[in-house]
Amino acid sequence: MSGVPSLSDLNLAATLPVSFLALYACLLMIVDLFVPRTRKHITAGLTMLGLGIALVLALLPLAGAARFGDGERAFGGMYIADSFSDGVNVIVLITALLGVMVAYNYLDRIQRQRGEYYSLLLFTTLGVMMMGAAGDLVVVFVALELLSIPLYILSGFRRPQEASEESALKYFILGAFASGFLVYGIALIYGATGVTDFEGIWAAVEEIVAEDASSKYLLLVGAGLLLVGLGFKVAAVPFHMWTPDVYQGAPTSVVAYMSVAAKVGGFAALVRVLGSGMVNFALDGGLVAAWQDTVWLIAALTMILGNFVAIVQSDLKRLLAYSSIAHAGYMLIGVAAAGSAPVADEAARAVIMYLMAYAFTNVGAFAVVIAVERDDASNTGLESMRGLAVKQPLLAASMAIFMFSLTGIPLTAGFIGKWFVFKAAIAADLIPVAVVGVLTSLISAFYYLRIVWYMYFESGESEAHVPVPLAWAISIAAVGTLLLGIFPYLLSDMTHKITLAFGP
Amino acid sequence: MEDISLVTVVLMLPLAGLVLMMLFSRTEQAYKWAALVTSLVTFGASLLLVRNFDTSAAGLQMVHRVDWITADSFTIRYYVGVDGISLWLVLLTTFIMPLAILASFNPIKDRVRLYYIFMLLMEWAMLGVFVAQDLFLFYIFWEVTLVPMYFLIGIWGAEERIYAAIKFFLYTMAGSLLMLLAILWLGNEAGTFSVPDILAKLESGELAFSTATGRWLFLAFAIAFAIKVPMWPLHSWLPDAHVQAPTAGSVILAGVLLKMGTYGFVRFNLPLFPEASKTFAPYMAVLAVIGIIYGAWVSYGQKDVKKLVAYSSISHLGFVMLGIFALNPAGIQGGILQMVNHGISTGGLFLLVGVLYERRHTKLMSAFGGIWRAMPLYSGIALVIVLSSMGLPGLNGFVGEFTILLGSAGSSVLSWWFTFFGAIGIILAAIYLLYMFNTVFMGALDKEENKHLPDLNWQELWSLVPILVMVFVIGLQAGYFFEYMDGSVKELVDYVNGYVLSAAGH
């Protein structure tokens, strides 16, 4: 590895979706300078085009049509192109496409139609894709910053509205803090193992466990700090405090996108680092990783707090914020299950399936909020849903589908996600946390159903405007939610090749 | 791929009708008729099931089995079929639905399109519950039945509809969630979610779990089913849901939905966990008998006719549970027949209440009296249905309850006390039903607003006549219905008892 690597060593072909999008995003930033203020639909269209091409590139290996690398490494092991990163790519690119569709009219309405919005969105997307493909802790850190910094800016995009500025500042300060934890964790792990790439860490952990070396404590602290840093990104309790405020203050179109994208990135990294690099970190020499207990405890707390606090929310955006905290808990069950070596692959697949289901459902739900929100950011209370089924039957039906999906009712994607996550948990012998999972699902049914009953059982003067791109986004999200629910093999086929294990 | 089975056809017809209705219907009349025709066609197709059913075979028939999700460690299948246990429940569903739809023609005036969409979805989901043989598929249908019923109660219900709808949803969902975990556990261990495959693995010893695990799993399934039945003390959602639901909703709830619980016990609890079934049988029977007496007692105290009928369901379903946990052929066959009987009689009673409510917009017994003089046709039909619900010999209710008591008396796991208290339940049923009949239909026609009530219109009449016919048919020709159950029930009972014997032999 010494000396200057030649271009062929980089194995650029394996990174095609990411490198294409990186180039495209930079170009778009320049092209946008020449697009006049009044014609920003060109920028939006170009963004969609770029995302669309990247999505096709990401889908090709999944469909088996082309292979840019089967578990192949690029950039000297920094980048791993495998089924897991393909899955992450597809999820985040679909989310980004929907994110552009929900944003276009919204930006017009709030008079913030600026080209930067789209470039920043592309960079965030890139960050998430790199998180999914990271083969090294350094890449995790760089990708995390690439994912976060544009989101800080986007949260404050509604300048000079105070709520939006506050949201951005809060997110930035707390996010920077979390990054600090992450770097510290990386440093300690490096101290314990002497390497930063996952395969090297995996080999070093084998050794540490075999020799029962005292550096295992260093490793444990490192893993804990890493969990703090990434736990912040995915809004896990107790690192969730920023979520409701940021979600409520930030422009709704940003929230629709980031509530999914940041989670995809965070969970991709968690699964990669813990489920792949440290899956063998069993202190007692068994098959269960040392970090599993911590993760499932956090999962249980996250589900309990998120769901209980969501009950008392009267604002849709805050309610969905707490709901997104709760869903981080369900996905953490999957991460915890990945701590049992025999179940690791199944658990990683479950997390990807859950994320895919969550992407359609959550973007859709926020898109409906965008439809009822007024130009001055008001009318996002639960009241705004009253009688929607009579005024806007299709919009209400879509929202009902999203709510049932978030609850986990069968025939929706949300059920399939929960089914596989709970299945992995039971396979990993984590029955108590699965019980907490189903019981909190019941709690969640109450507040999701309340939205349905406001729409269908009560009458009111609800108003909503659904311009074309937004209507398309909501329809795609609703159809996607149902499609994945009715044909679950779409999901299981997409993920069935995921294997994380290093070594034998 | 195998041929598409008749069961799949019956299952998918309501969905096909739903799609056609949404594509081609434009007026309210069209929605009504499209839904009615769909449900009638489904009923017709389900009659073919009876014709093609081979009564000499015990196992599943007209099976349709396709892999749905395949993974390294497990398979989930679309797997449907009928046997002697589910056949009549499928027929009950397809029989009740046209009546419920016909009875909705006049009362349902707003959001007609949405109403019939949910009715057909409901039929589809309920049929799915009775034919699904894969636990994943079963759970999907089981949960999906909640959604249309939630809307039916919440949109077209009475004053307290929102409370009732949400209580119904949360209460029943609470039960099924633990079942979900039990299903996942079973599937993980067995590598398949198909019940026949799991049973085969259990029988061959390839899959085995400890006595304690079996009991936990039994309980996880039992809570889900017991809430649906509902068994005392998990019944409190039922009066709310029944009373607030629109007439057709109550008919479906009482007629079919509750049977999903009792059916679940027969289909899953008994064969999957025979040891636990045997152990828990006396406890389940105690709850069943408490339900019989309690339901009857509370019914007697009601002032509202609909509430009276609702509580009577708890009592009647108690009989079904008693029969099932007698764990012998007579008890289980009686239980299954009584599920059908209760669906027909109580469905009929709710239709009758709906007729009164349409005319007077009250369900209080004190508001009526002497109705016989004003509405003789209606009252005549009501008398037969009330007598059938009471268990008068010659009518359907008698056959079921008598067979159940016969089963419980001959049961090796239950003492004769259960039979004794069950018999008391029958007497109590006679008391509250005759008291109700007396108050509403007999006596002097002394209320001015009751004097000119119109008798049945054609929709009401034709939704009640088929019920009347079935009351007599089952009452007089019960043997025909038992014949179809014989094989499957006998095999089930032999299996449950045989398993316990062989386990004891080890």
Q: What is the pLDDT of residue B1?
A: 44
Average pLDDT over residues B31-60: 88
Q: Please determine, for residue A184, whether its predicted confidence score (pLDDT) is greater than 90.
A: yes
The amino acid present at B287, given as its one-letter code, is L
Q: Which residue has the tokens 């152990």?
A: B279
Percent of chain A with pLDDT over 70: 96
Q: CB of A247 within 8 A of CB of A318?
A: yes
Q: CB of B83 within 8 A of CB of B58?
A: yes
B367, containing H or E segment: none
Of the pLDDT bands very low, low, confident and very high (cuts 50, 70, 90), residue B76 is confident
Q: What is the pLDDT of residue B358?
A: 84
Instruction: Name the token pair of B187.
Output: 């599937």
Q: Please determine, for residue B506, whether its predicted confidence score (pLDDT) is greater than 50.
A: no
Q: Please determine, for residue A49, whether its predicted confidence score (pLDDT) is greater than 50.
A: yes
Q: What is the DSSP letter of B365?
A: G
Q: What is the pLDDT of residue B505?
A: 41
- For residue B230, is the peptide bond before it cis, meaning its omega torsion is within 30 degrees of 0? yes
Question: Does the residue A503 lie in any domain?
Answer: no
Question: Does the residue A500 lie in any domain?
Answer: no
Q: Please determine, for residue A104, whether its predicted confidence score (pLDDT) is greater than 50.
A: yes
Which residues in chain A have their CB less than 8 angstroms from residue B68's CB? Answer: 488-489
Quote the CA–CA distance of B464 and A122 in Å, as a whole number.
64
Are B154 and A453 in contact (CB < 8 Å)? yes
Nearest CA in chain A to B158: A457
Q: What is the pLDDT of residue B2?
A: 53
Domain around B75:
6-505
Quote the CA–CA distance of B476 and A189 in Å, as a whole number.
80
Question: Does the residue A461 lie in any domain?
Answer: yes
Instruction: Name the token pair of A402.
Output: 């999203």
Q: Please determine, for residue A499, whether its predicted confidence score (pLDDT) is greater than 60.
A: yes
For chain B, how many structural domains are there in total?
A: 1
Q: CB of B64 within 8 A of CB of B12?
A: no
Task: Tell me if residue B486 falls in helix, strand or coil.
Answer: helix
Q: Which long-range contacts (CB under 8 A, 24 or more apart) does A74-78 make?
A: A74/A10, A74/A11, A74/A12, A74/A14, A74/A15, A75/A10, A75/A11, A75/A15, A76/A1, A76/A5, A76/A9, A76/A10, A77/A135, A77/A136, A77/A197, A77/A199, A78/A134, A78/A135, A78/A136, A78/A138, A78/A139, A78/A197
Q: Across the interface, which of B73, B161, B184 has its CB nearest the CB of A426?
A: B184
CA-based end-to-end distance of chain B: 42
Burial status of residue A465 (CB atoms within 10 A of its CB: 0-12, 13-18, 19 or more): middle
Nearest CA in chain B to A489: B69
Of the pLDDT bands very low, low, confident and very high (cuts 50, 70, 90), residue A253 is very high
Q: What is the pLDDT of residue B140?
A: 93
* B212 close to A (CB below 8 A): no
Q: What is the pLDDT of residue A229?
A: 92
Residue A384 CB neighbours (<10 A): 24
Q: Over chain B, what is the mean pLDDT?
A: 88
> How far is the alpha carbon of A429 from chain B, nearest alpha carbon, in Å?
10
Question: Does the residue B268 lie in any domain?
Answer: yes
Average pLDDT over residues A444-454: 92
Average pLDDT over residues A440-459: 92
Window 87-146 of B: residues touching A by CB (8 A cutoff) are 111, 136, 139-141, 143-144, 146
Q: What is the pLDDT of residue A382?
A: 86
Question: Does the residue A2 lie in any domain?
Answer: no
Question: Does the residue A502 lie in any domain?
Answer: no
Give the pairing of strands B61-70 and B75-82: antiparallel
Taking alpha carbons only, the member of B240, B236, B233, B230 closest to residue B264 is B230
Q: What is the pLDDT of residue A103?
A: 92
Question: Does the residue B348 lie in any domain?
Answer: yes
Mutation site, B124, B135, B181, interface A, largest A CB count within 10 A: B181
Mutation site, A429, A430, A452, interface B, largest B CB count within 10 A: A452
Q: Please determine, for residue A194, whether its predicted confidence score (pLDDT) is greater than 60.
A: yes
For chain A, how many structural domains are there in total?
A: 1
Q: Please determine, for residue B442, whether its predicted confidence score (pLDDT) is greater than 90.
A: no
Query: What residues contact residue B80 under an 8 Å CB cut-off, 6+ apart?
Result: B5, B7, B8, B11, B63, B64, B65, B128, B131, B132, B133, B137
Of the pLDDT bands very low, low, confident and very high (cuts 50, 70, 90), residue A65 is low
Q: Please determine, for residue B311, whether its predicted confidence score (pLDDT) is greater than 50.
A: yes
Are A453 and B188 in contact (CB < 8 Å)? no
The region of weakest confidence among A183-197, A490-504, B281-295 is: A490-504
Q: Across the interface, which of B140, B170, B178 has its CB nearest the CB of A446?
A: B170
Query: What residues contact residue A114 under an 8 Å CB cut-off, 6+ apart?
Result: A40, A107, A157
pLDDT in tens, B239-274: 888 888 898 999 999 889 999 999 999 999 998 998
Which residues in chain B have their CB less than 8 angstroms from residue A489's CB? Answer: 68-70
- Residue A72 sits at the vertex; the CA angle it makes with A67 and A76, to the nearest 5 degrees, is 140
Nearest CA in chain B to A434: B181
* B162 close to A (CB below 8 A): yes
* B188 close to A (CB below 8 A): yes
Residue A501 CB neighbours (<10 A): 14
Q: Please determine, for residue B503, whether its predicted confidence score (pLDDT) is greater than 60.
A: no
Q: What is the pLDDT of residue A503?
A: 52
Query: What residues contact residue A130 under an 8 Å CB cut-off, 6+ apart?
Result: A18, A79, A139, A142, A143, A146, A147
Of the pLDDT bands very low, low, confident and very high (cuts 50, 70, 90), residue A121 is very high
Cβ contacts below 8 Å, chain A against chain B, sum to: 81
Q: What is the pLDDT of residue A1?
A: 47
Q: What is the pLDDT of residue A79?
A: 87
Question: Does the residue B1 lie in any domain?
Answer: no
Q: What is the pLDDT of residue B504?
A: 45
Q: What is the pLDDT of residue B344?
A: 92
Of the pLDDT bands very low, low, confident and very high (cuts 50, 70, 90), residue B207 is confident
Of the pLDDT bands very low, low, confident and very high (cuts 50, 70, 90), residue A479 is very high
Q: Over chain A, what is the mean pLDDT?
A: 89
Mutation site, B188, B189, B192, interface A, largest A CB count within 10 A: B188
Q: What is the pLDDT of residue B501?
A: 52
Of the pLDDT bands very low, low, confident and very high (cuts 50, 70, 90), residue A69 is low
Q: Please determine, for residue A504, whether its predicted confidence score (pLDDT) is greater than 50.
A: no
Q: Please determine, for residue B4, whether its predicted confidence score (pLDDT) is greater than 80.
A: no
Quote the CA–CA distance of B237 and B242 in Å, as a whole number.
9
Of the pLDDT bands very low, low, confident and very high (cuts 50, 70, 90), residue A88 is very high
pLDDT in tens, A270-289: 999 988 888 888 877 678 88
Q: Across the interface, which of B146, B154, B174 has its CB nearest the CB of A457?
A: B154
Nearest CA in chain B to A401: B147
Is the pTM for the entire model greater than 0.80?
yes
Domain around A305:
7-495
Quote the CA–CA distance of B306 and B251 in Å, as a whole number.
11
Are A410 and B162 in contact (CB < 8 Å)? no
Which residues in chain B have their CB less than 8 angstroms from residue A423's CB? Answer: 184, 187-188
Average pLDDT over residues B285-307: 90
Q: Across the interface, which of A346, A409, A450 has its CB nearest the CB of B143?
A: A409
Considering A245-259, B357-371, B435-449, the range whose residues carry the highest mean pLDDT is A245-259
